[in-house]
Structure 1
Amino acid sequence: MKYKIAVLVVTYGEVEQLSLRSLYPSSWRILQLITSRIATLPLPLKAFIALLRSLRRKKEWKKLGYQPKLAQINRAQTQALAKRLETVKQLSGRNVEFVVRDAYYFTKPYYEDVLNEVKRSCYAVIVIPMIPIESEFACGVGCALALEHFGDSVFERVRVIKHLWNNEEFIKLCVNRIFEKYERRQERKVGLALVAHGTLIKDTKGRELKINTGYKETLMFYERLKTAIEHDTRNRFASIKLGAMNHKFGGIWMPQTLERALEEFRAEGIEEVAVFPFGFLADNSEADLEAVMQVRAAGYPMQYIPCLNDSPGFMDWLAKRVMLSAEHLLKLQASTLVQMPFQLEIATNPSS
C-alpha cells in the first residue's frame, strides 16, 4: 500500500485578473483572515473597506501596467517541488507518494478547500507557508485553519514547516542569491535594502499586542542575513539596512521602514540602491512594485534582486525539509497507530 502524503505550497495570493470580480473576494478574505486577528470590524465597514481597496488597486495597477506574478511563481515552485519529490518512493520503511498542491489564503484555490480535498485521501499533510518569517498572519493562519479542519487528529496528521529564516542553509541561499543576481555596473557607493513586510508592534492605544506579529523574528533574520553578507568575500555594499513595508492603519508599526533606510542612505552618501526582498519567497506587488517605486521616487539608481522564487538550490533545500517533516509524521503515526485507528482509516481509504 502507498501512503499518500499531501504537500501544500501556501502563500497569500494575488489576483491574476484585474477585475472587481477577482479583487473584491481577495480584499474581503484579507479582512476575514488577517485584519480580524487584531480588530473587530462591523460587517458594513468591512464591505466598504474591501470595495475601496479593490477599486484603488485596480486603478493603480492598470495605470502602472503592473501584472502580479505571485500566483504564477507559486505554481512554478509547486511544480519544481513535485518534480523533486516524485523520485522519493520510500520513507521510514514505507512506500510513499507525494501529492503536491498550490493553495492560497486570499485567492483560489483557497487553502481550506485544498485541505478538505486532501484530508480524505492522504495519510499525512505537510503545509509550507511560503513566507519565511512566522507570525500570526502567516503560518498562524495555516495552523488555525488546519486545526479547524482536522480537529484533534491535526497533531498526528499535519506538520506546518516553519523557522525557515533561522536555518543556516537558508541564509546561505539568500546570500548567494544576492551576489549571483546583483550586477555591479559602475564604481558607485551602493547600499543594500533588505525589504520585508512591516509588522505591528503596538495596538491603536499604544498597548503591547497579545499575538506574535513576527517583529522579533524579522529583526533576528535581518541581523543574521546582514552579518552573513558582510562576512562574504564578494561583498562590496557600503551599507546594509532593513526596509519594512508598513501599512497605515491598525496600530503602531515597526520603525525600521524602507523610507527611513533611504533617508539614512542619503546621509551616508549612498549613490545607488539594491533591493532584495528577504522577507518574501516569491516576487509580489509589495516587493517588485511598491518597494521599487519607493526607491525610484527617492531618486536613486536601483537594482531589484528577485526573490528566491523557484531557483534550483532553494527547491532542492525545500524538498529536503519536506522529506524530513514527512519522516517525523510517519514515525509519530506509527507510534500512535493503536490509539487512532479511525483517523488513519479515513486517511488511507478515500472511500471511507
Structure 2
Amino acid sequence: MSRSSLFESHEMKIAVILAAHGEAETTRFMENYRVTRQTLAHASQIMHIPGSLQKTIAVTSSLKKLIRSRTNAQCSPHNRITRDQAGALQQYLDSSPSAAAFDFEVHAAFSASPPYVEQIIERTRLYDGQVIVSMSPIDNTLSCGQLCSCLAASHSPEELGKVKVLSRFWSDERLCSIYCDYLFEDVSEHCRPQSAEHNERRVLLLLFHGTLVKDAKGDSPLFRTGREETIQFAERLQALMLSDPRNPYSRIMTVYLNHNVGGEWTRPSFEEVLAMFKEDKKASSVGVDLFGCGYFADGNETIHRAGELLHSSSVSKARSIPCLNSTPLFTAYLASRVIDAARQITSLRGFTFPAL
C-alpha cells in the first residue's frame, strides 16, 4: 500500500488524550475521599506528605463538601466539562480537512479519578501516534511533569518518537488573545453598558491556582511548582486586558487559590482579598467579576468563589465568569495544536502529506 493510500484509508490513527486533574462528580463522602487520596498520593511522590496527614486531609475535605451540600448541592462540573471538551474537539477534528490524513480519537482522562490517564495511554499505545494535552495552562511537576515521567517509564525510545505532549500554554500569545476575546465577549453579553462613574466600581479578579513558595522549613521547594510561569502568564493577561479598549474594569487583580498547607503560598490569596473587601467601606457599591483564567475547566476551586465573596463581604454583586471550558474559540485553538502535533509525529516517522 502506498503512503498516499495510507492517509486515504485513515490508517494513521492518532489518540488525542485530554489529561485533566479530575474531581469527584458527586458530594458523596467516599467518592470525594478516594479522589483526594489519589491526588495526595501523586503529590507525595515529589513532596513529603505523611500517610496519616493524607488521610486527615482526605477526611476533612470530604466532610466539608458533604456538609456544604446541605445548603449548596452543586457538584463539581470538572469531569463533565472535560468530557464536553473532548466531544467538541472530536467533532471539530472530524470535520476539518486534516480528517483526510488522520483518524483522530479523542479521550478525556484524569489523574485523580477514572478513567485514569495512565490507563488511556496504555490502551492506545499501539496507535500510530499519541497526542497528550496537559489540560492546564501552567506547567509544573504535578501536571506535565508526571505525564512525562509516566511516558518515560512505560514507553521505549521508539514508542516515544510517536508521542507528543502539548504544554507551555502559558507562553502562547495566541491563547492570551483568546482569553481576552472570550472575557470581553462574555462581559458584553451579561452586563449592560454603564456610565463611567459606575465602571469605576467594577473589579475583575483573575483566579489562578496558588503555588508553594517556601516549605515549612523556609526553604524553596525542590520541585517545579510553576510559580514563575503563573506570574508571567498573569502579568501578560492583566496587561492585555487593561490595555484593551473593550475593558470596562477600573481594577484588575491577580488572586491565588491556595491550599495553605506545607509552608508559605503565593499572595495575594483569595482569603486576603475577601478581608480587603470586608474592610472596604465602599465595597457595598462595588461589583466584582471572578474569572478562573488559571484553569481550562471549572471545578471545585472556582464554582463557589462568587458565593463566598458575597457571604463574607459587603460587595453588592459578584459573578463568576466560566472558564474557557468547551467554547468554540478554545476548541479551535486546541484542534490547531493537535493537528500540528500529529503532523510532527508523522513527519518524524518519514511520512509525507497529501495536499489537504
2:326 alignment partner, SS class? coil
2: CA distance between counterparts of 1:12 and 1:258? 21
* Aligned equivalent of 1:329, options 319, 331, 345: 345
List, as ranges, runs of 4+ consecutive aligned residues in structure 1 with deviation greater than 4 Å: 88-91, 262-270
Q: Residues 47 and 264 from structure 1, CA distance in 2 versus in 1: closer, same or farther, beyond 3 angstroms?
A: closer
Map residues 287-326 of structure 1 onto 2, 5 A cutoff. Answer: 287-290=302-305, 292-294=307-309, 296-300=311-315, 301-326=317-342
Alignment deviations for residues 86-106 of structure 1 (CA, whole Å, 9 cap, x no partner):
235659xx9421111000111
C-alpha distance in 2, partners of 1:298/1:140? Answer: 38
Distance 1:86 1:296 in 2: 45
SS in 2 for 1:7: strand
User: Does residue 289 of structure 2 align to residue 277 of structure 1?
Assistant: no
Question: Residue 266 of structure 2 is aligned with which of 254, 278, 287?
Answer: 254
Is the 8 Å Cα contact of residues 84 and 319 (structure 1) preserved in structure 2?
Answer: yes
Q: Is the 8 A contact 1:259 1:294 kept in 2?
A: no
What is the match of residue 116 of structure 1?
Answer: 122
Q: Which moved more, 1:109-118 or 1:324-333?
A: 324-333
TM superposition shift of 1:223: 0.8
* C-alpha displacement of 1:256: 2.4
- Using structure 2 for the length normalisation, give the TM-score: 0.86
Mapped to 1, the partners of 2:254 and 2:236 lie a distance apart of 12
Deviation of 1:166 (Å) = 1.3
**Aligned-partner Cα distance in 2 for 1:156–1:90:** 21
Root-mean-square deviation (CA, aligned residues, Å) is: 2.2
Query: Shift in Å at residue 317 of structure 1?
Result: 0.9
Task: Find the counterpart in structure 2 of residue 204 from structure 1.
Answer: 216
In structure 2, what is the Cα distance between the partners aligned to 1:294 and 1:37?
A: 33
Equivalent residues in 2 for 1:1-352, closer than 5 Å:
1=6, 2-42=11-51, 44-88=52-96, 95-120=101-126, 122-153=127-158, 155-182=160-187, 183-185=190-192, 186=194, 187-188=198-199, 189-262=201-274, 271-290=286-305, 292-294=307-309, 296-300=311-315, 301-334=317-350
How many Å separate the matches in 2 of 1:296 and 1:170?
33
Equivalent pair of 2:258/2:266 in contact (CA under 8 Å): yes
Please say if residues 146 and 154 of structure 1, whose CA atoms lie closer than 8 Å, have aligned partners that are also in contact: no
- Secondary structure of the equivalent of 2:84? helix
CA distance in 2, matches of 1:226, 1:263: 22
Q: Which amino acid aligns with 2:121?
A: L
| Matched pairs, number | 331
- The question of whether the paired residues in 2 share the 8 Å contact of 1:11 and 1:105 is answered with yes
**Partner AA of 2:43 in structure 1:** I
* Residue segments in structure 2 that go unaligned for 5+ positions in a row: 1-5, 352-356
Overall identity of the aligned pairs, in %: 27
The letter of the residue matching 1:230 is L
The C-alpha deviation readout for 1:141-179, integer Å capped at 9, x for no partner, is 222222222243453122111111211211111111211
Unpaired runs of 5+ in structure 1? 336-352
1:295 to 1:251, Cα distance in 2 relative to 1, 3 A = farther
Aligned-residue offset at 1:326? 1.3
